[in-house]
Every structure is written in C-alpha cells, then in structure tokens.
Amino acid sequence: MTEPWWRQAVVYQVYLRSFADSDGDGVGDLEGLRERLDYLRRLGVDGIWLNPCYPSPGADHGYDVSDYMDIDPLYGGLSAWDRFLGDAHAHGLKVLMDLVPNHCSVEHPWFRAALAGDREMRDRFIFRRQPNNWQSIFGGPAWTQVDDEWYLHSFAPEQPDFNWRNPAVAEYFEQVLRFWFDRGVDGIRIDVAHMMYKHAELLDWPGTGHNPHMSNQPEVHDVLRRWRRIADGYARDLTLVGEIWVPTVDDLALFLRPDELPQAFYFDLLVCPWDAGRFRDSITRGLSTAGGTWTLANHDVHRSVSRYGLLTRTGGPATRPRGEVDVALGVRRARAAALLTLALPGSVYLYQGEEAGLPEVLDLPDSARQDPTFHRSGPADYGRDGCRVPLPWTSTGPSFGFSRSPSPWLPQPAWFADYAIEDQIGHPDSTWELHRQALTLRRDFTGPLEWLSTSRDDVIAFRRGPHTVLTVFGPTPYPTPQATPLLASTPCPPNEVPGNTTAWFVG
C-alpha cells in the first residue's frame, strides 16, 4: 500500500492577507497566490494550507466567519478560489482549507437571528442569564451582555461560541465539511479542534491561566470521529489536521487515535527552547505519541528567528516570548532548527516567510497593530501582528513587491529589504536556497529515526537509513561523523560542524 500523500509532505501555510496582493488594495488575495504557484513549486513544497478566507467582517482576520460556504470578495470570491484550486492541482500542489468550528462571527445569520430574539437560534450559541467567571483567550471576560442574557466567546466578543450540544450545529458542520471536500480540497486544518465542547455545567474556574473547563472535554472526540468517517468516505486521501493546544503530549495523543485525526500539529517542539536535551526529549515524545506533524512557526507565534535568537526572556507567553533578540544568532539557529525538523520522519508545516528567515517585526507602532490579542491583553503581549507583516518579495518597490499599493495593511519595516525573497533565490548561502535544497533532499530520507550517542550534552545526532543528522546547539564546533557531507545550515570547515548548526551526511 502506498503512503497517503500527507504523511511525509511539506505543507506551506499561506496567510493570504500577507502573501501577495494582485489588485493593489494592500491586502493579499487568491489571484496573487495563484500567480505565485510557480514559486511554491520551485521551493518544492507539496501542498498549501490556506488560512480562513471565507466572508468575514475581519475582527480576527477571517477566524470570525459569517458564511462557511463561500469566499470573501476581498480575496476574489468563490470563482477566484476555484481558479486557484484548479491551478494548484495542475501544479501538483494539494490544498487544505481552514475550518473554524468553535465559533463564528457576530455577522453569521444564525447569530444575528439569535440577537433578534429567536430562541431556537439562541440555543445554537451559549446564552445564559448569569455568566460564569471564565476569561477569554484573547484577554478580558469571556461573556458579553446583550439584553438580560450574556453569550460566551472564548476569543473576541465578535466570535460567539457555538453550542455543540445542539445537534443542528453538528449537522451544519458536516455539511460544511462535505461542501469543501466535494469542491476538491485535499484536507482541512481544524481550528482549535479541542475546544468545541465546554464543561456541561459551565463550572466556574477558580484558577488563573489554562482553564480546563473551556476545552478538551470528552465529547469532542465523537465529533472528530464522525468527521474522520466523512473524510474516509471519499475515494481520495484526505487529511484532517488539528490545531490542539492541550496540556500534555498524552492528551494530544488521544486526538490521534486510529479513528480520529490523521494529524495534529506538534506544538511541544515549537515551544521548546534552543536546548539539545529538550529538543531530543520533545522529538522522542512526538515520534512515539504524536505521529510526527512538525511545525516551528505559524500565524499565532513569534517567528522562529526571533524565538531562537532571544538572549534573555523578560515576559510574554512561550509562543511569543519577549526580550532582547540577537537576530544574526536567531537566523543561524532557525536555519539549524529547520534542517533538523526537515530530517525527521513525518510531515512539516512551513509558515510563509520562514523559508526566507524573516524575523518577527517586534517594533510595529502600536497604532498599526490590529490583532485583538494586543488590544485585549494590553502591553503584556504584543499579539500576533509581527509575524503577519506582508512578505517582502523584492528589495525595492512600493511594498517590497507585495502590492502595487505603498501602504499594505500592516506596515513593513525598512529592514525587510534585506530579506527579499527574490534576491535570495539562486544565492547558495541564502536561507531560501537552504530550504529548497532540504526540501529536495529530504525526499530520499526514509525509515525510522535511531538516536546516536554523542560525546557532548549540547549535541544531538540520529540516523535514518543511510543518512546521519547532527545538530550542535552550543557555540563550539563538533567533529564530523565518518560520512559524506550533504547539506549544512552554516558553511562547515573540513571535519567539523560549527556551533548552532545542523548538518546532514550520507553513507
């Protein structure tokens, strides 16, 4: 039996607003993406995960959906999407949509009817006369009052949570799933796939931080099992990849049981600090219990360059740590981390801009920031705008080649010129070329991972078939193994792997 396409795939995450703008309105769109499918082919990825592009008022840039079975005119509408899908497939690229089942937009017709007083519609959401004490994940209370009732929103007030205990909600999402499968997608990324059910009695949560009553309830597994059956009913291989933030890898493993999700992002590695022992442990846990769906960045976290280049952490969550960043060191380590991850058994989700080694834009003016996280949690967290700044394609031009408009939806810093993608293509030392080569060579990597012992705590090494992979986490060089060098994240002098470097060998 051949493996399903997604098992070893590299899937490129497109944050559409920030990828490429074809019509000059400062916001990326489907035609801009379609025009760059050759680019993605050349990079060597296998598929695309498209962040939500359904009709939405944009309170959380598309994660507040007002119509699940259409595409927002801002991105070109459904006809542009069909054209994009056809061309993506013609380029041999798979396409994943992003489904948001925990909540919709206040503009969704059901919620509008609920607000107008329709009781049946109110029961599709979580309305109560008395709110409990839950806090929203974006900061502030998780309840908003409308009349003598309040409704629950785990995120922004513009994102009311569905009541998954109402069968109409479950039926609706099965219809949505079939709609996109029938239209030709190759899989679905499921937004906060652990959150659909809340504690049946909505109990107060006396603690601070992670609130276990708001997510990871046993009933959610039944939903995912039904969706898996739907996906398996199609003649082609479809994947369902869960975005699941649960306290332990063992919790995560429950979502990956044989009749549930084929894939779930392994965030344990994403939040791992740059440390040999921690990386090795995390990879071992991930391989044994979480199936190997690796990712080092996405549209919610600080870019890998800025996380690995952090000198001292002064605050912020693990996904968006704050403190002084050494960008050169960050680039070097992010390249090493990418090469390490791309050598592992399993699939890799690669966030746009990571292939160019883009750092997080940490110094956006507050007035430009749009993320509700920033506005609701105050100065404790910059929020997620800094990883969403439109891509620099060229080092000159009105918005570094992103748009005809000189003012994209988020301002790009002048230093983005140094990371221009088109200037990196064909340059042997560039981060882009490193990714392109790694994506080609990784296709020859097969078989399970076998750890090798090393003589230092800051060095890890493993074999996969004829390939050896070695990462030096500390600053001091380490002797090369007896094998032929294949690729390295920093230029290697003869016989040694420099510090903060991953090197691949064969033979």
Binds ligand GLC by CB under 6 A, chosen from 21, 29, 46, 60? 60
Q: Which helix (H) or strand (E) holds 469?
A: strand 467-472
| Binders in 83-102 for ligand GLC, by CB under 6 A | 100
- Is residue 192 at the binding interface for ligand GLC, with CB under 6 A as the rule? yes
Mark whether 243 is an active-site residue.
yes
Backbone angles phi, psi at 188, to 5 degrees: -135, 135
- Is residue 268 at the binding interface for ligand GLC, with CB under 6 A as the rule? no
Q: How far apart are CA 54 and CA 389, in angstroms?
A: 20
Which amino acid, residue 138?
F
**Shortest Cβ 96–ligand GLC spacing (Å):** 13
Binding track over 143-162 against ligand GLC, x by CB under 6 A: ------------x-------
- Is residue 68 at the binding interface for ligand GLC, with CB under 6 A as the rule? no
Cβ count within 10 A of residue 455: 7
Mark whether 182 is an active-site residue.
no
- Which residue's CB atom is positioned nearest to ligand GLC? 63
Give one DSSP letter per residue of 284-328, joined into a string.
Answer: HHHHHHS--EEES--TTS--HHHHHTEEEEEES-TTS-EEEE-HH
**Shortest Cβ 299–ligand GLC spacing (Å):** 6
Q: With CA atoms as reference, report the closest residue to 29 among 39, 43, 14.
A: 14
Q: Which is nearer to ligand GLC, 373 or 468 (CB)?
A: 373
Q: How far apart are CA 261 and CA 135, in angstroms?
A: 28
Candidate list 243, 268, 354, 355, residue with the active-site label:
243
Give one DSSP letter per residue of 402-428, joined into a string.
Answer: S-SSSS-SSPPPGGGGGG-HHHHTT-T
- The residues, ordered by sequence, that sit 6+ positions from 259 with a Cβ below 8 Å of its Cβ are 225, 228, 229
**Shortest Cβ 358–ligand GLC spacing (Å):** 18
Token pair 């994102």 is found at 159
Candidate list 60, 64, 98, 191, residue with the active-site label:
191
- Is residue 246 at the binding interface for ligand GLC, with CB under 6 A as the rule? no
Q: Which is nearer to ligand GLC, 59 or 503 (CB)?
A: 59
CA distances from 454 to 61, 322, 483 (A): 46, 33, 15
| Binders in 283-302 for ligand GLC, by CB under 6 A | 299-300
| Binders in 348-387 for ligand GLC, by CB under 6 A | none
Q: How far apart are CA 224 and CA 256, in angstroms?
A: 10
- Is residue 243 at the binding interface for ligand GLC, with CB under 6 A as the rule? yes
**Shortest Cβ 136–ligand GLC spacing (Å):** 10
- Is residue 191 at the binding interface for ligand GLC, with CB under 6 A as the rule? yes
**Shortest Cβ 320–ligand GLC spacing (Å):** 12
What tokens were used for 344?
Answer: 């592992």
Instruction: Point out which residues bind ligand GLC (CB under 6 A).
Output: 60, 63, 100, 155, 191-192, 243, 299-300
Residues that are catalytic: 191, 243
